[in-house]
Structure 1
Amino acid sequence: MKVLDLYERASRVPVLGKGAFSLAVALRAPYFLTIAPSLVELEPNRAVVRIRKWWGVHNHLGTVHAIAVANGLEMAMGVLAEATIPTHLRWIPKGMELEYLALSDSTLLATADTDPADWERPGEVRVAVRATREDGTVVVQGTIRLHTSEKKRAETVSASPVAG
């Protein structure tokens, strides 16, 4: 079952559905657990992840650590990619360029966006990402680059009798 289908099913369960889905995603890539993420929105070409400001993600200033923000942006990019990519393609991260613009002194929304045309053929997909404070200030913005390629066809293995 596709990620988007699972998210839509989970979203129908009041209160716990999105939380259970967010936990399942974080368990697939356990480093996401460190940011206590909550998937707020998921649709083709868009994902939004909430990064709660708590002591486990603080830096020496008491703000959300830059790498915690990057993890939230990467999670948003990953679920967007899974919800968007055509079934004949696969993806892998290729690079990340981020600008840190302001202090992350509140809970954040990590947003990832793409254009539908980006997914039409194999090659590079540039995912626009940004993290926004509760007051609307963009604290981090940038791009995560993905490499997409055709999935390999499953090779058929023929069983041959073993001579004894």
Structure 2
Amino acid sequence: MSQVHNLWKTTTGLPVVGSSIGKRVFSLAFAQKAPYFATIHPRVADLRPNYCEVHIPKRRGVQNHIGTVHAIALCNGLEMAMGGLAEATIPSTKRWIPKGMTVSYTAKATSDIVCTAETDQEQWDTAEGDLPVRVKGVRDDGTVVIEGTINLWVTSKKK
């Protein structure tokens, strides 16, 4: 289990801290790993192998000129979800780096957004080279506002 996944289990599993506060603590710590994540004020709602869910609140700091959540803020949320998923899923003998992102903006992001990243375990079992991660962002009413793929480059760690 990776350090990120261990931190998730620790912060969300403590009875004194509780799930809600633990998720907040984890989200703050994870956003410091890549400080630009903090710009969207993310909240990690779920993290497990092959899945991560990140909530982006709609607030002035992430809005564009028409008052919707900016496309780059959405991509930032998708990348954070992908990174959480990758850290929680990758075998200890492998390493990963993002290689590219292809997304479609399918509707206006007029509310808070839930960004998710998903893979299938089989992808990681044989991972070497390209590994596509499915990503999407959804409005409060269930409308998909952004969807696509983030491609990872997965290689074996040097001995």
TMscore range, shorter length: over 0.9
1:123, CA displacement in angstroms? 1.7
- Extract structure 1 runs of 4+ deviating beyond 3 A: none
> CA offsets per residue over residues 112-141 of structure 1, 9 Å max, x none?
000101112312110000000000000000
- Identify the match of residue 136 of structure 2 among 130, 143, 149: 130
2:12 — aligned with what?
11
2:58 — aligned with what?
53
Query: Normalising by structure 2, what TM-score?
Result: 0.94
Query: Normalising by structure 1, what TM-score?
Result: 0.91
2:29 — aligned with what?
24
Structure having the higher Rg: 1
1:102 — aligned with what?
107
1:6, CA displacement in angstroms? 1.3
1:5, CA displacement in angstroms? 1.8
**Larger helix proportion of the pair:** 2
- Mark the runs of 5 or more structure 1 residues left unpaired by the alignment: 154-164
Residue pairs, 1:57-136, within 5 angstroms: 57-121=62-126, 122-136=128-142
Code of the residue aligned with 1:10 in structure 2: it is: T
Report % sequence identity.
Answer: 52
Query: Does the residue aligned with 2:107 lie in a helix, a strand or coil?
Result: coil
1:2, CA displacement in angstroms? 2.5
